[in-house]
Amino acid sequence: MATSEKLVITSNINGEERTFLADSRDSLLEALRERVNLKGVKEGCNNGNCGACAVILNGRLVNSCCVMAAEVEGATIETVEGLATPEGLAPLQQCFLEEAALQCGICTPGFLMSSTALLRENPAPTDDEVRFWLAGNLCRCTGYDKIILAVQAAAEQMRAPKK
């Protein structure tokens, strides 16, 4: 008979050391939502195709539905909850609002994490590069154009010299 195990997992989540209980059968998506209560991580397809569950794990973009919770012992995880600062929204978040790059919003956390990873690696992407990078994120509402505009607007802001 197959069994699971209870695990105690410690990882750095959005800059804070967090210890949480999980089951060895939990995906990282399930653990973040149900055990750590980070509901910004969304479930779309649960099979790697839609990107709604994207988080940054040890500096790399991953789909949390395709990661086991047990794997993240000792890891660093960034979710959409960590993007805003006490000073306000991150440029990407602000630009998604201003450019109306979301409607129902279920895909938005995934797009924000994916775009965050993109702009870290490539602060001045072409539109084609943005589209190629975001190909793993699906949106049923916006038609994508406004998302590309928002990412480019944020990229421009982030490149501007700090006042």
Ligand X SMILES: Cc1cc2nc3c(=O)[nH]c(=O)nc-3n(C[C@H](O)[C@H](O)[C@H](O)COP(=O)(O)OP(=O)(O)OC[C@H]3O[C@@H](n4cnc5c(N)ncnc54)[C@H](O)[C@@H]3O)c2cc1C
Residues making contact with ligand X (CB under 6 A):
48-49
Q: d(Cα 50, Cα 55) in Å, to the nearest integer?
A: 13
Task: Tell me the per-residue interface mask from 82 to 121 with other proteins, x by CB under 8 A, - otherwise.
Answer: --------------------------------x--xx---
- 132's contact among other proteins, ligand X, ligand FES, none, with CB below 5 to 8 A by partner kind, is other proteins
Among ligand X, ligand FES, other proteins, none, what does residue 117 contact (CB within 5–8 Å per kind)?
other proteins
Report d(CA 33, CA 37) in Å as an integer.
Answer: 5
Burial 23-39 (b: 16+ CB within 10 A, else e): eeebbbbbbbbebbebe
Both tokens of 29, joined, read: 């998506």
- Binding positions for other proteins, 34-63, rule CB under 8 A: 46-49, 51, 54, 57, 60-63
6 near other proteins (CB under 8 A): no
Cβ atoms of 112 and 92 within 8 Å: the answer is yes
Tokens 């421009």 -> residue: 156
Verify binding: residue 31, other proteins, rule CB under 8 A.
no
With contacts defined by CB under 8 A, how many residues of the chain interact with other proteins?
36
SS3 category, 47: coil
- CA dist 29 → 32, 54, 62, 120, 143 (Å): 5, 9, 11, 23, 26
Answer with the entry of other proteins, ligand FES, ligand X, none that 103 interacts with (C-beta below 5 to 8 A by kind): ligand FES
Q: Closer CB to ligand FES, residue 63 or residue 152?
A: 63
Q: Which residues of this chain interact with other proteins, rule CB under 8 A?
A: 2-5, 7, 24-27, 46-49, 51, 54, 57, 60-63, 65-68, 70-71, 73, 114, 117-118, 132-137
